[in-house]
Structure 1
């Protein structure tokens, strides 16, 4: 019987993220409470810079963005919220880091969860992803179910099922 495998990754589709930002900007233009506001969203590589008039409007802007992300199937778990800081002309700014890949801490946690499940599979860390191999596909499916229920700080996708 051949070995089966799959990869555990944590990625954010940047094209979909751009679409979510565009939809958020369209909603801002049509909302009465944001009329005349200096609210903007700027995507700089892996960081989204959110600027608004005050803390309340910044929170509302992030709520709109999160709802648009969820509608597009983007994980909001993969956002690392920076501190709210003062910006020019009386505005406030917050940097949202978009996490790509699984960091070392979560990789170790995932490996420990898989090992403690006592399934006949092997898992190995390969950079920012994890490859799980095993002879029985049912064991691989059990690993996927286990990780979906696990409380991790990143959203996981399961790819390359062979």
Structure 2
């Protein structure tokens, strides 16, 4: 019985590369001279922290960083920026969570979407992925097209296709 997995994976090697490129550009830009603007990756928590002197500079650092993510093929929709926090004096920071995997709410929404479409397949939640299996390969391709059209606010990958 053919099947595939709906998942969301983030390539942390590309995230690290984009972060290094962004920090290099920030260090060379004239408008950031003498400032403490930078971005760091916490490997353990899989989260980013963006530092700057002002909120305006913080937004500028985020723009540079998101541009580098786009060039490296990392979907910015996987990043969830938090609130701006004051550190000391007038310095600010923002934590950015990197969302890898599909959350339970979104997985339930995907399964409900598949069942409502009346396509003859079965969908089941397996941890942070959704496994879709059916009798025909064409039905699975219909499900992929349906999900690409229906879920636009979160990046989905379709992999682990078994025949």
The 1-side partners of 2:95 and 2:140 are apart by 37
How far off is 1:142 after superposition? 1.1
Q: Please show how residues 110-121 of structure 1 align to structure 2 within 5 Å.
A: 110-121=110-121
The 1-side partners of 2:48 and 2:152 are apart by 22
Tell me, what secondary structure is at the counterpart of 1:90?
Answer: coil
Tell me, what secondary structure is at the counterpart of 1:161?
Answer: strand
**Preserved CA contact (<8 Å) 1:51 1:92:** yes
Question: Alpha-carbon deviations, 1:62-96, whole Å to 9, x = none?
Answer: 01111111111111111111100101242110000
**Preserved CA contact (<8 Å) 1:78 1:153:** no
The 2-side partners of 1:56 and 1:93 are apart by 11
How far off is 1:154 after superposition? 2.4
How far off is 1:100 after superposition? 1.0
Residue 31 of structure 1: aligned partner: 29
Question: Alpha-carbon deviations, 1:89-128, whole Å to 9, x = none?
Answer: 4211000000111001100110111111110110000000
The 2-side partners of 1:70 and 1:149 are apart by 21
Residue 149 of structure 1: aligned partner: 149
TM-score (norm 1): 0.95
Residue 15 of structure 2: aligned partner: 17
Seen in structure 2, the aligned counterparts of structure 1 residues 157 and 101 have a Cα distance that, compared at 3 Å, is: same
The 2-side partners of 1:4 and 1:52 are apart by 50
Residue 76 of structure 1: aligned partner: 76
How far off is 1:153 after superposition? 4.0
Count of residues in Structure 1 that have an aligned counterpart in Structure 2: 160
The 1-side partners of 2:151 and 2:12 are apart by 24
Structure 1: which 5+ runs fail to align? none
Tell me, what secondary structure is at the counterpart of 1:160?
Answer: strand
**Preserved CA contact (<8 Å) 2:41 2:47:** yes
Residue 3 of structure 2: aligned partner: 5
Residue 128 of structure 1: aligned partner: 128
